[in-house]
């Protein structure tokens, strides 16, 4: 297989998955950009413009079933255009709840090895927001790394306090402090980039994702803008997700900033991201303790003893409530759909039989 595909992450496992696709003559490609159901893909023939085949669109139950940036896909090419016939199984998948639809999952980036969760050390710094991203990262299957950018905008004491806060919120997760303005700490991020490895940057608008990418690429590839000085809130500069091949090796996925990440059904990822809470819960009196006032709760005892920040437990409860509300809404819509499906059968059963 071509060296360019190997640099993009193609390997024997993906090749075996392509062989399993029940259609002859298909070629591999990786999705670089998605825009209004049109895709730019990297293939053996170079960069092509592609569209999902009608059979793929018909089989998709929502945005989750369509190609996303980072996906490996099976294509049939003709000239400089291609038709995407299948999506190869994803090794990792960073997703969120689609805006405005509690029943749809939106894939942000696929087949990511390491996800850099970027937060800015300015007036908009919020450890709770990082915790939310860590839950989504745990669900994705990618390895999370926290990047605290803009150290040039805070004092040494403030920087140390922020690092300590994130290490308390993300036990065992690597934390790096960087400054693009001063070119500090960026060499540490290059260690996550290697030929065939994919890194995605995620975070709110204005945290400096595009600036970090430009430094890692060695050129001003991505557009950057200044944040609002009064609120430290960023302006949307990156408007679509994009896969970039780094000249020195490695693949980078840039993503638009998200004001607030709405979690999809997080399953066991919530416990994985809050493994310190989960470990303390083993000593609770009741196995199903909710840590909300039950007697003998070891988690609340740890809060009272200063061994667990109260804000961290409060945010755990908030994310737990979000997960429960999402599941309840999905179950409600499933019941409505089932009732509509069986309505003709029930109506027929109630109808009086005609006497012959």
Q: What's the structural domain count of the chain?
A: 3
How far, in Å, CA of 262 to CA of 95, rounded? 9
Q: What is the pLDDT of residue 223?
A: 56
To the question of pTM greater than 0.75 for the whole model, the response is: yes
- 65 & 116 share domain: no
- The answer to whether residues 187 and 177 touch, using CB atoms and an 8 Å cutoff, is no
268 inside domain: no
Q: What is the pLDDT of residue 57?
A: 87
Residue carrying the six token digits 């590839």: 221
- 168 & 114 share domain: yes
Tokens of 164: 């300590």
264 inside domain: no
Parent domain of 164: 93-254
Q: What is the CATH number of the domain that holds 20?
A: 2.40.50.140
* Angle at 238 (CA atoms; ends 30, 61), nearest 5 degrees: 50
- The answer to whether residues 29 and 50 touch, using CB atoms and an 8 Å cutoff, is yes
Q: What is the pLDDT of residue 103?
A: 58
- 231 & 296 share domain: no
- 295 & 234 share domain: no
- The answer to whether residues 151 and 159 touch, using CB atoms and an 8 Å cutoff, is yes
* pLDDT tens, N- to C-terminus, the chain (356 residues): 568 899 999 999 999 999 999 888 899 999 999 987 899 999 998 999 999 998 898 887 666 689 999 999 999 998 889 999 999 999 999 887 665 555 567 888 999 999 999 999 987 788 888 888 888 888 889 999 999 999 999 999 999 999 999 998 888 899 999 999 999 999 999 999 999 999 999 998 889 999 999 999 987 765 555 554 554 444 445 558 899 999 888 999 998 866 556 565 556 677 778 888 999 999 999 999 999 999 999 999 999 999 999 988 998 898 888 878 777 776 776 677 677 777 776 666 666 665 54
269 inside domain: no
């Amino acid at each position: 297989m071509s060296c360019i595909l190997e640099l993009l992450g193609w390997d024997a496992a993906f090749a075996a998955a392509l062989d399993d696709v029940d259609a002859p003559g298909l070629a591999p490609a990786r999705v670089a950009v998605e825009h209004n159901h049109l895709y730019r893909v990297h293939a053996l023939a170079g960069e092509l413009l592609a569209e999902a085949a009608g059979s793929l669109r018909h089989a998709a139950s929502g945005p989750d079933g369509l190609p996303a940036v980072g996906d490996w896909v099976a294509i049939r090419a003709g000239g400089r255009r291609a038709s995407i016939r299948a999506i190869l199984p994803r090794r990792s998948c960073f997703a969120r709840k689609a805006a405005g639809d509690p029943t749809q999952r939106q894939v942000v980036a696929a087949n990511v090895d390491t996800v850099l969760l970027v937060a800015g050390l300015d007036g908009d710094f919020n450890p709770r927001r990082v915790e939310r991203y860590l839950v989504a990262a745990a669900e994705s299957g990618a390895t999370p790394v926290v990047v605290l950018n803009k150290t040039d905008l805070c004092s040494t004491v403030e920087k140390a306090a922020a690092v300590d806060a994130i290490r308390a919120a993300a036990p065992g997760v690597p934390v790096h402090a960087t400054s693009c303005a001063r070119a500090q700490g960026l060499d540490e991020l290059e260690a996550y980039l290697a030929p065939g490895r994919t890194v995605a940057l995620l975070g709110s608008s204005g945290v400096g994702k595009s600036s970090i990418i430009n430094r890692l690429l060695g050129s001003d590839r991505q557009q950057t803008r200044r944040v609002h000085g009064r609120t430290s809130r960023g302006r949307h500069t990156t408007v679509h997700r994009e896969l970039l091949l780094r000249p020195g090796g490695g693949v980078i996925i840039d993503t638009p900033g998200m004001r607030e990440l709405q979690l999809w059904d997080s399953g066991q990822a919530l416990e994985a991201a809050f493994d310190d809470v989960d470990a303390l819960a083993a000593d609770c009196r009741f196995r199903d303790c909710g840590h909300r006032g039950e007697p003998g709760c070891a988690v609340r005892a740890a809060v009272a003893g200063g061994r667990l920040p109260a804000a961290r437990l409060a945010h755990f409860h908030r994310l737990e409530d979000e997960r429960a509300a999402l599941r309840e809404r999905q179950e409600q819509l499933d019941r409505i759909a089932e009732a509509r499906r069986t309505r003709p059968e029930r109506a027929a059963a109630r109808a009086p039989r005609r006497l012959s």
